[in-house]
Amino acid sequence: MSLTVSPAIAVRLVVCAVGSLVLHVGLGRALDELPPRPPVRTPTRVAVRVVAPPPPPPVLAPAEPPPPPPPPAVTPPPPPPPVARPRPSPRSTNPPPPIPPPPAAPAISPSPTPGAETGVVAPTGGRPVFGATMESTSSGGAGPAVPIGNTSRPTAGSGPAAPTARGTGEVAAAAEVTRMPLPRGRCAGAYTDAARAAAVEGTVVLDLVVDERGRARDIVVVEGLPHGLSEAAVAALRACSFSPGERAGQPVAVRVRGFKIRFVLADAR
């Protein structure tokens, strides 16, 4: 059986063949224009060794903060200066003069006399008798106060003073008695306003005679204090009651030396 191809188909076939040829020729020329392919490189071997990682560094504990500095030392304020107190003058170390022997005891008068009321003893051996009234003692100053008057001395022509109602009226020394007189209470002096304002403290030293009835007389300030404290000590002794001294079991007037009355501001408040 014969195959018949129409002219139109033949033309188409020819055109397709020519076009295919042109296309292949163009592709060949295009491939020739391309750059040459690089040579195939031999792969490089790389040796890899796995190494264990180093241990992590130790974690350091946070450093403790330094302790705070100590607080500054507080310096206490200096103490206040001490209050100047009057310094008593040293007492005389001379021994007392010997007491002359007492004269014969006079007869006791039944009627009271001014001498018996005031407790003044008749002078022995020609020596005057000094009283210790507020007018006859020196006031002020811190040194010894001595009698400035003879206010308790018997007047001329009045004769010897009568003895006290009990005893012979003689004054015995401390070495002659068997029992010294003692105060029955506290003989404290009253502070004066001037002494309290001046903040005066100290001790008043006095000599006195305690008679047979336990009353103080013949008071003499040996070491005094200013602002009326010496007078206050004398007044305190006059108001103080004593148990009388004794000699051979009998009450007797005794001279007491160095009796002290202390003045302290804390006791006066």
| pLDDT tens readout for residues 126-142 | 333 333 333 333 333 33
Pairwise CA distance, residues 231 & 254, whole Å? 22
Band of the pLDDT at 255, cuts 50, 70, 90?
very high
pTM: 0.39
- In angstroms, the CA 207 to CA 223 distance is 10
23, exposed or middle or buried, with CB in 10 Å at 0-12, 13-18, 19+? Answer: exposed
- Look at 127-141, 157-171, 216-230 and tell me which has the smallest mean pLDDT: 127-141
Cα–Cα distance measured from residue 118 to residue 211, given in angstroms and rounded to the nearest whole number: 11
Predicted confidence band at 111 (pLDDT cuts at 50, 70, 90)? very low
> Residue 156 — very low, low, confident or very high, per pLDDT cuts 50/70/90?
very low
For residues 187-195, give the mean pLDDT. Answer: 91
Comparison of pLDDT for 174 and 1, the residue scoring more: 174
What is the reported pLDDT for 71?
81
pLDDT, residue 107, reads 40
pLDDT tens-place string over residues 40-57: 778 888 888 888 888 888
Instruction: Give the C-alpha separation, 204 to 141, whole Å.
Output: 12
3-state SS, residue 78? coil
* Band of residue 158 on the pLDDT scale cut at 50, 70, 90: very low
User: How confident is the prediction for the chain on average, in pLDDT?
Assistant: 73
Of 3-7, 66-70, 254-258, the range with the lowest mean pLDDT is 3-7
Q: Is the pLDDT of residue 204 over 60?
A: yes
CB environment 219-229: b (16+ within 10 A), e (fewer):
bbbbbbbbbbb
Question: Mean pLDDT over residues 201-222, rounded?
Answer: 95
Higher pLDDT, 241 or 60: 241
Res. 12 pLDDT band, cuts 50 70 90: confident
Per the model's pLDDT, the better-predicted residue between 243 and 125 turns out to be 243
**Of residues 259, 256, 268, 197, the one with CA closest to residue 226:** 197
Which of 259, 256, 257, 261 is closest to 203 using CA atoms? 261
